[in-house]
Amino acid sequence: MGNFKTFCESSDKVDAVARIDRTDLEVWSMTQKDYINNYALKGAIGRARTLNKSLGKTFHKHQVIKAIKEGKKVPEHVLVDYKDSQMVQDALKGKFSKEWFG
């Protein structure tokens, strides 16, 4: 028990623990930039980074729209990424494309 207490009292180790990725967050609850940087680009190099970034943007948008359709409260700081996206704006109005969601 003493070792754990000592570990927690060390500020540099506590800071390191605070920086651990929050894997419990849903994709739709984080900004597109956070999702791309923390998940889509993780470990990717060269051309894979470009492909992963593009796919990550598309995946994130789909997850935001899906969350809206499921009635989840998508945070405003996430929706601001899509203020110019007609698909997201339509989803917010309850209009969903059958191409996206059978």
- The per-residue pLDDT for range 33-42, each reduced to its tens digit, is 999 988 888 8
Q: What is the mean predicted confidence (pLDDT) over 16-38? A: 73
What is the pTM (predicted TM-score) of this model? 0.68
* Dist. CA 27–CA 21, nearest whole Å: 13
Q: What is the pLDDT of residues 52-84, one digit of tens each?
A: 899 999 999 999 999 999 999 999 999 999 999
Maximal CA-CA distance, the chain: 58
Q: Is 90 exposed, middle or buried (0-12, 13-18, 19+ CB in 10 A)?
A: middle
